[in-house]
Amino acid sequence: MKPAEYHQRDRLWQPPQLTPNYKTSVPRSPRQALLSLEQSMSEITGPVFGHGDIDPIDNDLIRNYAKTGDPIGERIIVHGRVLDENNRPVPNTLVEIWQANAGGRYRHRKDTYLAPIDPNFGGCGRTLTDPDGFYFFRTVKPGAYPWRNWVNNWRPAHIHVSVFGASFSQRLITQMYFEGDPLIAKCPIVNSIPDPRAVQQLIAPLDLNAAIPLDSLAYKFDITLRGRRSTLFENRLEGN
C-alpha cells in the first residue's frame, strides 16, 4: 500500500468563510464556490523543517524575550500531540504559537489596547514535534481583551497555533482556548464554527498531571490534521 491523497476536508465541521457575526468576514469571504481539486504532487508535498531552522529556546516564551526578569502572569505549560485523522502521530512538524501577554496586550504595532506591554514578554514561540508527534511550550496564560466587532466584544483567553503537517494540504491555523472560560461561548470568532462538538475540540483541559508542583500549571492541547488514504487499488496520482 502506498499513501495517496489526503481525506477531503469536512466543510460542515470547519467554519464557513462568511460568518456575519464576525464582521470582518463579510468583505473578506469569497462568494463563488471553491473549485474542488483532485490532489497532485503540488498538494501532497510541502515544506520540510529541521532542528537547524530553530533554536532550543524558541519554545520557552518565559525566557525567549526576557530582558530584566520573567514576564508577569500565571506560568503554564501547553503540551499535546499532533495526530492525523487516522490516529497516526505527525512527527517532526513545525508548530508555531503567538499570544497576548497576561494583561491581554500583544506586542504588535497595531494593538492599541490600554493594558501595558510586558518588557519581558515577546509572545511567540515555535517547536518541532518529536517522533511520536509530541510538542510542548512554556508560557504565561494570556489575558482576555476587548476587540472591535460589536460594541462590547471580548476575546476569551487564547493562544494562536499554526501547524504544517507533511503536505501543503494539511496546513492549518487555529486558536486554543482554556477550559472553564465563560467568554468562549460568547465569542463570534469561536461561533464561526457551526458544530458545538467541533468547538470542544479547541478547548484545552487543565492537566494537573503535567503541572510542575510549586512552579507551573499545565494545559493539554492535541491537534488533528487531515489524514490520507491508502492506495488499496491503483488510482495513481502520477499515471501508469
Residues 76-105 binding other proteins (CB under 8 A) are 83-87, 94, 96-98
- Is-catalytic flag, 145? yes
CA separation for the pair 4, 23 (Å, rounded) = 38
- Is-catalytic flag, 160? yes
- Is-catalytic flag, 22? no
Can you tell me which of 71, 143, 156, 227 binds other proteins, judged by CB under 8 A? 227
CA separation for the pair 70, 143 (Å, rounded) = 17
Which element (helix H / strand E) includes 42?
A: helix 41-44
CA separation for the pair 120, 123 (Å, rounded) = 9
Q: Which residues is 218 bridged to in the sheet?
A: 77
Span interacting with other proteins, options 67-75, 130-138, 194-202, 209-217, rule CB under 8 A: 194-202
3-state secondary structure labels for all residues of 6-22: ECCCCCCCCCCCCCCCC
Q: Which of 6, 22, 65, 106 is catalytic?
A: 106
Span interacting with other proteins, options 106-114, 127-135, 178-186, 204-212, rule CB under 8 A: 106-114
Q: Which residues is 173 bridged to in the sheet?
A: 162
CA separation for the pair 90, 4 (Å, rounded) = 16
Can you tell me which of 66, 172, 206, 211 binds other proteins, judged by CB under 8 A? 172
DSSP labels, 187-205: -TTGGGS--HHHHHTTEEP
Using CB under 8 A as the binding rule, whether residue 124 contacts other proteins is answered as yes
- Is-catalytic flag, 106? yes
Q: Which of 158, 219, 226, 228 is catalytic?
A: 158
The DSSP secondary-structure symbol of 73 reads S
Closest CB to other proteins among residues 210, 237: 237
Residue type, 193: I
Can you tell me which of 25, 92, 216, 231 binds other proteins, judged by CB under 8 A? 25
Instruction: Enumerate residues 129-148 that contact other proteins by CB under 8 A.
Output: none
Least Å distance, CB 213 to other proteins, is 30
- Is-catalytic flag, 155? yes
Using CB under 8 A as the binding rule, whether residue 60 contacts other proteins is answered as no
CA separation for the pair 214, 210 (Å, rounded) = 12
CA separation for the pair 120, 72 (Å, rounded) = 8
Can you tell me which of 20, 21, 45, 141 binds other proteins, judged by CB under 8 A? 45
Closest CB to other proteins among residues 34, 208: 34
Q: Which of 75, 105, 138, 155 is catalytic?
A: 155
